[in-house]
Structure 1
Amino acid sequence: MTVHPGLHWTVDHITAAMRHGMSDGLELIHRWKDRLTDTWNDPVYAGFWLDLEGYEQKARTENLPELSFSLFREFRDTGERQAYEQAYFERRGRLVSLGLLVAASPSADRVHLLEDLIWRICTEQTWCLSAHIPEGEEAGARKHIDLFAAETAQMLAEMIMMLNDMLDKRIIRMVKAEIEDRIFTPLYREQRTYGWEDANHNWSAVCSGGCGVAALLLLEDEQLRAMAVQHTIRSMSAFLSGYGLDGGCAEGVGYWVYGFGFYTYFAEMLRLCSAGELDMLSESITGAIASFPGNIHLSDGVFINYSDSRERETIPSGLLSLLSERQDIRINLGLHIPLLSQDPCHRWAHALRNVLWTNPAKFERAIESGDPGAPIYLEDLSWVIARGTLAAGEHKEVRVAFSVKGGHNAEPHNHNDLGHFILHGGGENILCDPGSGEYTQAYFAPGRERIWQIGSQGHSVPVIEGTHQQSGRQAEAKMLHIKHLSPLGVEAEFDLTSAYPEAPTLTRYIRHLCWNCPPGASEAVLLLEDHYQWRQPSGIQRGEYMNEKMRVIEHFISRIRPVMHEAGVQWEGNNAVVILHYDAELWDAQIEVIETVDHDHLPQKFYRTALFLRRTPDESGNSRDHTSKETRCRLKFTIQPR
């Protein structure tokens, strides 16, 4: 499917459009300094500039971390990547800070420090992360292009175009020569093939977008520049193919920021350099994609975080402002200018545009209304989202929300989490998703589902006959039924049988969820029913006790330590309480403490509540031995203000 008109732009069309707009575009980029200077004494940006000055102080007083072979080799030798990447991103953080500080408040001392940093970046053996260099190809790492090589090229290209009247001409020539050798020659002149070029996830957008921006600014050959634009559009088309018409990002909001952010950054640079004629944000699907963060924002800056995403993501204020203007989307977050220190990768593209593009007026009009809105079904992702507001007394309200995930177990940054759900109350996900773990070699290798954050053992889904969900495209949640319940409720039903192919006697597994939170209510209710069908095991007569593997274990994940009651479990959040009600005659409950490490290498503690089914009720409500061919497990969750 053609996802934007750019696929039809010819070299002649691109060349003519850019001949018309390039001069004014480059002049506008040079004047970016004026916008940065205007914010220097603006209280809205005071924290942003103070944060950058902290990096500047480190650049003046501490040695720049070296990217040594000892650090480089760790990933291939041990699977660890943290030490190399800490040094790599510290170097980028200092360069980003000095580049922006020189633009906003220049001094000879700052310029010289910036030039030294540019020199050091230009002399790196490779601009790639060590984890992204294919094994055996270390000798050619200089001309390998990964996410961060592309980002480095874009950063340096934009920096020298904005500061070309301040920087030593020898530094400018060196930057141009390095980008030509590392990026333009292999990618555009020699037309080497890179795996990301046709990827349907963030790599295609970031890699092609970063390289494409550098090409727009630095390539002087008009025909080669137009060919570079065509190359970028092809990769951007591959990126958009990973989205359905619902605009949902299977990788989560963090990777939405990364992938669609760099799509937008290239699109706006191309529009700028073509006097508005070449517009990659004109297609309707980009409007749906732009709406994704608002669709999955629950309250108080907390998001649905399936896959490798965080609950609290820092969404670039510049990107939101630009998309609000271009796509007419509603911002439902308060204004916050992200600090460079809040981005572990210290990205120039985000930081610069947070100053250039942020429009505080867009956020002033974005205060959340009392209406939580109707439930949302992102059909292509198979995510259900419903919100509500609880009356908490004294004219106070508590925002609550529910989400459940379908999809399949071969998605980008996949977790085995079909049927997994989130319960949100008062600004926190009380029953939560674990998010991403520490990125190591094993995290992306075969057998990765053994890692707690990735496997179904780290999600609110059952263990069936001792088996967990399996990886792969064949493990799919089939949506059987979805219905909006008046006024703000929703019910959904999934067939999850294919996720448990190793369960020896399972023939069908259906998960049914029903959420209700009427306006003005004092509590919200989620009813969960898991329906299992079994075949008779060989060698066991009807009515005999089935072996231990036939048992069902329901898991529920939270960061909050639960409190056990006689027939319930309670998770007490800061502003809301979730209570699980169950029949104590049918279930045994157990709390497990899970200690792990998150994506940023920080320790995490989760609490996994396990309900062990020991008996199943017959339809009259009487309990009997667990020997039936059908098992219906019914559980009730309530959310109340604290």
Structure 2
Amino acid sequence: MVNPVEDSIHEVENENINQRGNESKVLSYLSADRLLEKLSRPELATLYTDLKAYAERALKEPMPSLSFRLYRQFSDTGERKAYEQTYFDRRGRLATVAMLALDTDRPDALQALEEMLWDVCGEYTWCLPAHLGTGEINQVDGNIDLFAAETVHMLAEIVNIHTERLDRLVIERVRSEAERRIFTPLYREQRKFHWQTADHNWSAVCGGCCGMAALLLLEDEFTLQESISHTVSCMNAFLSGYGEDGGCAEGIGYWVYGFGYFTYYAEMLREYSEGELNLLTGSKITAIAAFPLRVHLSGGTFVNYSDSSEQEEIPSGLLSLLASRVGLQVDLPLHIPLLTYDPCHRWAHLLRNVMWSDPAVYGDEGASAQAERGFIFQNLGWMIAKGSLDSPDTKRTNGEPLQVAISVKGGHNDEPHNHNDLGQFIIHCGGENILCDPGAGLYTQAYFAPGREQLLHISSSGHNVPLIEGQEQSSGRQAQAHVLEAKLAEDGGELNTTLDLTSAYPGAASLACYTRQFHWKRASGGSSSGVELRLIDRFRWKSRMVSSAEPFSSVDESDAGYSSIVERWMSRVQPEVVKSGNLCWQGVHGTVQMAYDANHWQVFTEAIDTVDHDNIPVTFYRTSLSWIGPVGDNDHRLEGHAPLETVCEVRFIIEPKMGETEVSIHE
């Protein structure tokens, strides 16, 4: 397919760009005076206080060292956290001191900035050891990973902002290191890197950061043109990982990362070319831009499949810019993330949050009644429905309706940052994912090594999906959810979807077919204040002759018998037994009650202690329903044959916390 951006590059005469020369490189959002003025705005007061506190500490303490021992930890033990914490602290110090040095009355900050720039230029590598294999010299020289690219971009913008005040030797050192580490291997020698054709965040981040640094630092116009062509090619590769629905398989955190840097480069290129080269055009870009609002459930909590967290910091500058360029409707309250909230202390987000954040484009979540009431990502295979309930506890909810939502995941088990989670679903109420997804685990060597699917955060054992005949879901593209039905009411109040998940369980020898149905709507009967989800799992078995005395049910998870089924539900909330056949999860603002057939299913809840992506301890409560038989309405069999079908039907009722009612599937 012809790309309009590539066409536009060929249509623009190179001389038109070349004639602009270095004077074009003074971009509007890299002005020291404008930055200082923006930092004085009232909506940035908290951010500025946060930056200043970090910077003042950095001025008093010596720069932490990236020692040899820290560098070797990853190859020796697989541990990456200690090195990376030091690495990102150094970036955070540099970023905040660069902001503090905007004040001409702080010569101490400017002197510290020069020392920090010099120090970062002297690092053995700008890459993370986790991206360098065993870390030998031949793996370091000329290597460019995400963070080498982020570093060159950061240095390029800082020296551009402070170019009138920095010592010329510091600026030349930055230019020299950018040339040696980035521009020569990438643009002059044209080495091949895996990320150049990646259909995920690496192509946008690596390509975009190097491309922005090139626009700011390169003086050789031929190489500059090469950088533009190269970067646009990377951006096209990145966009190829998205369908027309704009869905990001990597999750909301990686949408921020990948599409964020795509947008940052696109905006710099647009301004650099005086509007002649614009990557932020077309229906696909508009759909991608809308992704975070479509997966936002309420209260700053998002759908968090793959390696994302429920609570994600969406850069306010990024959303503001997208509102301006593609007409994005932001139905969220203004929130400007603090630098200290970002464990990587990313300069690109910080600078643009300061320069681009526009309170005028932000709405109010409660007042706007959600711009997106629900959405079906046809390409991605995600289904989301949203609604609201009147809460009896108006003090607790500030008088606002209680937001409720469900999300269902299809897709396949070979996605970027993949979890084996086909059929996974989330039940959300009042800003909280009560039946939840574990999100990202702690990144270690094992997290990306063969056998990773055995880790809780990645395995189907850590998701709301069944164990079948003792088998977890398998990895690979062949494990795919086939969407048989996906219907969402216009008002988002009702969702019906059916998935065929048979291919996810190739190890279940007796399984002929497994389908999962979801029916989400306002509750009928009982309490009228709630929403209900009926989930129906149907397991069809291959025919097998049995004697009249042969049992045909099992609760032993290790038993590969044809009717061994264990359903699982994950939550950070420990459920309570209401009565036989009824469980209740008590959230902060709402409750989720589950009714099941206690004659056929045995319930068991276990606490699982683990750590999250930031190495913070977290406890999940996994509730299991194990099939116990005997033969009944849930099984259909032919004379002399094993049962042909096992059915698990459960009913979830989601209500405001003060409106609990007991429900039963036997009505």
Instruction: Give the one of 643, 648, 652 matched to 1:633.
Output: 648
Find out whether 1:454 has 2:467 as its counterpart: no
Shift of 1:463: 0.4
C-alpha distance in structure 1 between counterparts of 2:571 and 2:622, whole Å: 7
| Cα shift readout 1:161-215 (whole Å, capped 9, x = no counterpart) | 1110010011000000000000000000001111110000000000000000011
Q: Is the 8 A contact 1:330 1:366 kept in 2?
A: no
1:127-150 Cα offsets, whole Å, 9 max, x none, are: 000101133643451421000000
Q: How many residues end up aligned between the 2 structures?
A: 640
Match of 2:497 in 1: 492
Q: Which amino acid aligns with 2:183?
A: F
Distance 1:212 1:382, change over 3 A: same
2:229 maps to 1:230? yes
2:537 is aligned to 530
Task: Point out where structure 2 has 5 or more consecutive residues left out of the alignment.
Answer: 658-667
Counterpart for residue 546 of structure 1? 552
Residue by residue, what CA displacement relative to the aligned partner does 1:428-463 show, whole Å, maximum 9, x if unpaired?
A: 000000000000011011110110000000000000
> Given that residues 17 and 278 in structure 1 are in contact (C-alpha distance below 8 angstroms), is that contact kept between their aligned partners in structure 2?
no
Aligned pairs (5 A) from 1:200-239: 200-239=199-238
Q: How does 1:340-351 map to 2 (within 5 A)?
A: 340-351=339-350
Correspondent of 1:606 among 612, 615, 620? 620
Q: Which has the higher contact order (CA 8 A, sep 6+)?
A: 1
Residues 1:439 and 2:447 are matched in the alignment? no
- Residue of structure 2 in register with 1:399 after alignment: 403
How do residues 265-276 of structure 1 correspond to structure 2 at under 5 angstroms?
A: 265-276=264-275
Deviates more, 1:80-89 or 1:622-631: 622-631
Deviations 1:345-390 (A, max 9, x none): 0000000000010001111466642367543100111000000111
- With over 3 angstroms needed to count, the CA separation of the structure-2 counterparts of 1:365 and 1:609, relative to structure 1, is closer
1:204 to 1:152, Cα distance in 2 relative to 1, 3 A: same
Answer yes or no: is the 8 Å Cα contact 2:634–2:648 preserved in 1.
no
Displacement of 1:536 after TM fit? 3.6
1:616–1:626 contact (8 Å) kept in structure 2: no
Task: Identify the residue that residue 576 of structure 2 maps to in structure 1.
Answer: 563
Instruction: Report the equivalent of 1:513.
Output: 518
Q: Which of 604, 607, 631 matches 1:590?
A: 604
Q: Within 2, Cα distance between the matches of 1:269 and 1:483?
A: 41
> Retained in 1: the 8 A contact 2:332–2:364?
no
Deviations 1:218-266 (A, max 9, x none): 1112121111100011111110000000000000010000000000011
Is 1:22–1:273's contact at 8 Å kept on the other side of the alignment?
no
Residue 521 to residue 172, structure 1, CA distance change in 2 (3 Å):
farther
2: CA distance between counterparts of 1:301 and 1:205?
Answer: 25
Q: What is the CA RMSD across the aligned residues, in angstroms? A: 2.3
Distance 1:22 1:611, change over 3 A: farther
User: In 2, Cα distance between the equivalents of 1:497 and 1:31?
Assistant: 54
Residues 1:467 and 2:474 aligned together: no
Equivalent AA in structure 2 for residue 553 of structure 1: V
The residue correspondences of 1:315-464 to structure 2 (distance < 5 A) are 315-364=314-363, 368-370=367-369, 373-393=372-392, 396-464=400-468
Task: Supply the AA of the counterpart residue of 1:323.
Answer: L
Return the alpha-carbon distance in structure 2 between the equivalents of residues 245 and 35 of structure 1: 37
Q: 8 Å contact 1:30–1:163 — kept in the other structure?
A: no
Q: CA deviation at 1:53?
A: 1.6
Task: Give the deviation of 1:73 after TM superposition.
Answer: 1.0
Residue 567 (structure 1) shift:
1.4
TM-score by length of 1: 0.95
**Are the equivalent residues in 1 in contact too, given 2:634–2:645 (CA < 8 A)?**
no
Query: 1:279: Cα distance to partner?
Result: 0.4
Q: State the partner residue of 2:294.
A: 295
**Aligned-residue offset at 1:545:** 1.1
State the alpha-carbon separation in 1 of the partners of residues 193 and 330 from structure 2. Answer: 36
The Cα of 1:580 is off from its aligned counterpart by: 0.6
Letter paired with 1:259: G
Contact 1:524 1:638 in 2 (8 A): yes
Residue 36, structure 1, aligned to residue 42, structure 2: no
State whether structure 2 residue 156 is matched by structure 1 residue 157: yes
Is the 2:142–2:181 Cα contact (8 Å) retained in structure 1? yes
Q: Contact 1:616 / 1:632 at 8 angstroms: preserved in 2?
A: no
Contact 1:11 1:226 in 2 (8 A): no
3-state DSSP of counterpart to 2:12:
helix
Q: Amino acid of the residue matched to residue 56 of structure 1?
A: A
What TM-score, normalized by structure 2, do the two folds share? Answer: 0.92
Is the contact made by 2:29 and 2:35 (CA closer than 8 Å) also made in structure 1?
A: no
Residue aligning to 2:195: 196
Partner of 2:96: 97
Q: How much does 1:613 deviate?
A: 1.2
CA deviation after TM superposition for structure 1 residue 7, in Å: 2.2
Structure 1 residue 46 displacement after superposition: 1.3
- Check conservation: 1:527, 1:635, Cα contact below 8 A: yes
Distance 1:83 1:555, change over 3 A: same
Task: Give the 3-state SS of the residue equivalent to 1:143 in structure 2.
Answer: coil
What displacement does 1:106 show?
A: 5.2
- Secondary structure of 1:529's counterpart equals strand
Shift of 1:523: 0.2
Distance 2:407 2:284 in 1: 23
Taking only the aligned residue pairs, the percentage that are identical comes to 48
CA distance, structure 1, for counterparts of residue 474 and residue 334 of structure 2: 41
Structure 2: which amino acid aligns with 1:179? A
Rounded Cα–Cα distance in structure 1 between residues aligned with 2:641 and 2:452: 33
Equivalences for residues 232-311 of structure 1 within 5 A: 232-311=231-310
Instruction: Assess if the C-alpha contact under 8 Å between 2:250 and 2:418 holds in 1.
Output: yes
Distance 1:120 1:616, change over 3 A: farther
**What is the Cα deviation at residue 61 of structure 1?**
2.3
